[in-house]
Amino acid sequence: MNQENQNNPLIDSSRRKWLKSVGIGASAVALSSCVNSSVKELSAAGMKTDHFPTATPNLNDGLVRLSSNENAFGPSTKAVEAMKGELFNLGRYADATTNVLIKKIAAQEGVSEDQIIVTNGSSPILFGYADWIAKNGGKLVTSMATYEGVPRGAKFMGADVTFVPLDADLNFDLDAIEAAVTDDTTAVYICNPNNPTGTVVDAAKLTAFAKRVSKRCQVFIDEAYIEMSDAYPANVQSKLVADGYDVVVCRTFSKIHAMAGQRLGYAIMPAKQAKTMGRMLRMGGVNYLGLVAGMASMDDHA
């Protein structure tokens, strides 16, 4: 939470409700962060940390890191086997393979290939988008409790960020967010399902909201956790891009595909924007084994 909003009574009230509801979880997250930080400090000081379970992370050790939202089940065995089969092709650049993944995503999402950019994880997209906001009016509207990638990045780059309180049930207050949009707003950021509250915006309401608001400013929908929502296909909003609305949809392979260590993500956006942002965000190419694993995992519906 930025300094300017710490004394806002509306935000303070919503924060108290939220903290009360997730007090136990917050304590676990804090403990996990402290343990990880301590291990790093001890290692830097030259002390042995082999007896700490976090010193040598391994999904097989049963450790669940609440602070990272890692998928403790690990990646698809088909994804692992696909990577093994490509180890001797690591001398190849990944451009051609990236294009294969783009075709696969386009077919899955019902969008055109020129509306897709693929990056090493979704983080380059989030921070690249924050830079885009700063350079295109510099005004973002979002929720007071949501994933910090875009709002924090935008703030760091000099943009003005308006944080709207959650409603009483810890959901995005779409009406309040829409009311906060002004004629000079650059973008609205919606994380759905939301991190850290875990709430999901009703699909029909979000679609209607995005259609209205995107006529005034761009709507960025972060769907990092979309596959873990109930009735997952119905919650997907990529059709908005296909239908020509000024909307960006962002996805990652880090969560449901359990590929946080391989770094693979993508965004669907208007073709003209994808062309300019894609040039900046590709940054020399995408992780080859991540591409291979990602495609194998997409096919492993079981």
Instruction: Say yes or no to pLDDT of 283 above 80.
Output: no
Please give the pLDDT value at position 281.
Answer: 76
Q: If you search the block for the tokens 């990236």, which residue do you land on?
A: 98
More confident residue, 210 or 61: 210
Beta-strand ranges (E) seen in 186-264 are: 187-191, 218-222, 247-252
Q: Does 8 share its domain with 87?
A: no
- For the segment 166-185, the average pLDDT, to the nearest whole number, is 96
Q: Does 190 share its domain with 89?
A: yes
Instruction: Say yes or no to pLDDT of 242 above 60.
Output: yes
Choosing from 18, 36, 61, the residue where a domain stops is 61
Instruction: Say yes or no to pLDDT of 284 above 80.
Output: no
- Whether 70 is in a domain gets the answer no
Compute CA 104 distance to the chain's CA centroid, rounded to the nearest angstrom: 20
Choosing from 61, 89, 104, the residue where a domain stops is 61
3-state secondary structure (DSSP) of residue 141: strand
Q: Does 35 share its domain with 178?
A: no
Residue 299 phi/psi, 5° resolution?
A: -85, -15
Q: Does 101 share its domain with 57?
A: no
Q: Does 162 share its domain with 219?
A: yes
Q: Does 50 share its domain with 105?
A: no
Element (H, E) at 279: helix 271-281
Choosing from 13, 33, 61, the residue where a domain stops is 61
**Which percentage of the chain shows pLDDT scores above 90?**
69
Instruction: Say yes or no to pLDDT of 103 above 60.
Output: yes
Tell me the β-bridge partners of 110: none
Contacts of 131 (CB under 8 A, 6+ apart): 153, 157
More confident residue, 24 or 293: 293
Instruction: Say yes or no to pLDDT of 20 above 50.
Output: no
CB count within 10 Å of CB 29 equals 16
Instruction: Say yes or no to pLDDT of 47 above 60.
Output: no
Q: Does 132 share its domain with 29?
A: no
Residue range(s) defining the domain that contains residue 257 = 77-299
Beta strand pairing status for 265-268 and 247-252? antiparallel
Please give the pLDDT value at position 225.
Answer: 95
Q: Does 227 share its domain with 136?
A: yes
Report the number of distinct structural domains present in the chain.
2
Q: Does 246 share its domain with 114?
A: yes
- Whether 71 is in a domain gets the answer no
Where does the pLDDT of residue 302 fall: very low under 50, low under 70, confident under 90, or very high at 90 and above? confident
- Whether 67 is in a domain gets the answer no
Chain segment 60-93, per-residue pLDDT in tens: 667 787 788 888 888 999 999 999 999 999 998 9
